[in-house]
């Protein structure tokens, strides 16, 4: 399947997930869900399995609060291991190949004056993204609905920089994360515009294993600021690197999905997709 077709399918799946959220208590049937996105049940089933690898019914399980609560109950030990070792465990996890370099105080203060930033637009299985990079690494990866709005937001992040629409290796390496096989992925370098506290939070996010989820409180405790869950939430909301810095893996202690800079429905889709992928890999072992 082409990336373009995956992106089209995701738009339909996103609408289907919204329908499931609104009608979860009634346990909607395949026919009801497919009707909400105006495709036949047979076509929707095939489309959904091609995108997620599992049936809509199986995927719905990963979106439930009960499922999220179960994962949260197991996360403390995982975060302890990540905190002590600096790694999340198995291979193919973000922190094994992502390195963060914060911008200097001068760069942060002057809004990236004289900083050259390349940017491009790309299609992914979770929607369109804007990716941007400095000579030191990736500085932005953001899902968007409108190109002009996304570019305007990027320019507001770095008001004094010089922008060029061009794709470079930093962007290509980052986009490779959306592929299912990461074995040939080069180390991704990030050049981030953030306060020391924000960068500390973002570094902690990289230690959350794929398909796992933690709470805002967990993050606060593991950066040594147990009473700063609200500040942690604010820092997570400022994360400039979608998916690669996995802020989608942080939810409320209650099991509620919580907010997401790029939409709560997209957050649920990514969490469900990662959970489905993990189950499929486990079944193959």
Q: Which residues of the chain have pLDDT under 70?
A: 1-8, 25, 65-66, 71, 73-97, 108, 179-186, 281-285
* Cα dihedral: 91, 96, 97, 103 (round 10): 160
247 counts as catalytic: yes
Was domain 66-281 assigned CATH 1.10.510.10? Answer: no
- Is the model's pTM score more than 0.85? no
| Catalytic residue from among 139, 140, 204, 247 | 247
pLDDT at position 21 = 77
| Residues across the chain | 285
3-class DSSP string for the chain: CCHHHHHHHHHHHHHHHHHHHHCHHHCCCHHHHHHHCCCCHHHHHHHHHHHHCCCHHHHHHHCCHHHHHHHHHHHHHHHHHHHHHCCCCCCCCHHHCEEEEECCHHHHHCCCCCCEEEEEEEEECCEEEEEEEECCEEEEEEECCCHHHHHHHHHHHCCCCEEEECCCHHHHHHHHHHCCCCCCCCCEEEEECCCHHHHHHHHHHCCCCCCCCEEHHHHHHHCCCCCCHHHHHHHHHCCCECCCCCHHHEECCCCCCCCCCCCHHHHHHHHHHHHHHHHHHHHHC
Where does residue 222 rank: exposed (0-12), middle (13-18), buried (19+ CB within 10 A)? Answer: buried
Residues contacting 42, CB < 8 A, separation 6+: none
CATH 1.10.10.10 maps onto the chain at: 66-281
Whose CA is closest to 258, among 10, 54, 72? 72
Architecture field, domain 3-63: Orthogonal Bundle (1.10)
Tell me what pLDDT residue 88 has.
39
Q: Are 211 and 278 in contact (CB under 8 A)?
A: yes
The two three-digit tokens of residue 34, written as one number: 């497919």
């Amino acid at each position: 399947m082409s990336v373009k077709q995956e992106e089209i399918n995701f738009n339909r799946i996103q609408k289907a997930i919204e329908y499931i959220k609104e009608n979860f208590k009634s346990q909607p049937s395949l026919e009801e869900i497919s009707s909400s996105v105006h495709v036949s049940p047979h076509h929707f089933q095939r489309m959904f399995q091609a995108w997620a690898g599992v049936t809509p019914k199986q995927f719905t399980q990963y979106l439930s609060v009960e499922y999220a609560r179960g994962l949260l109950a197991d996360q403390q030990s995982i975060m302890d291991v990540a905190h002590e070792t600096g790694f999340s465990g198995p291979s193919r996890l973000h922190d094994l190949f992502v390195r963060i370099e914060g911008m200097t105080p001068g760069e942060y203060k002057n809004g990236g004056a004289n900083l050259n930033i390349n940017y491009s637009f790309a299609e992914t299985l979770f929607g369109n993204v804007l990716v941007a990079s400095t000579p030191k690494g990736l500085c932005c990866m953001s899902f968007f609905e409108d190109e002009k709005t996304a570019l305007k937001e990027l320019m507001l992040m770095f008001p004094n920089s010089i922008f060029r629409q061009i794709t470079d290796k930093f962007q290509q390496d980052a986009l490779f994360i959306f592929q299912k096989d990461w074995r040939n992925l080069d180390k991704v370098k990030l050049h981030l515009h953030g306060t020391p506290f924000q960068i500390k939070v973002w570094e902690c996010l990289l230690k959350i294993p794929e398909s796992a989820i933690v709470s805002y409180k967990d993050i606060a405790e593991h950066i040594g600021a147990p009473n700063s869950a609200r500040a942690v939430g604010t820092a997570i909301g400022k994360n400039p690197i979608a998916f690669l810095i996995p802020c989608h893996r942080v939810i409320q202690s209650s099991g509620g999905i919580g907010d997401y800079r790029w939409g709560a429905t997209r957050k649920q889709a990514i969490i469900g997709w990662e959970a489905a992928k993990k189950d499929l890999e486990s079944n193959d072992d």
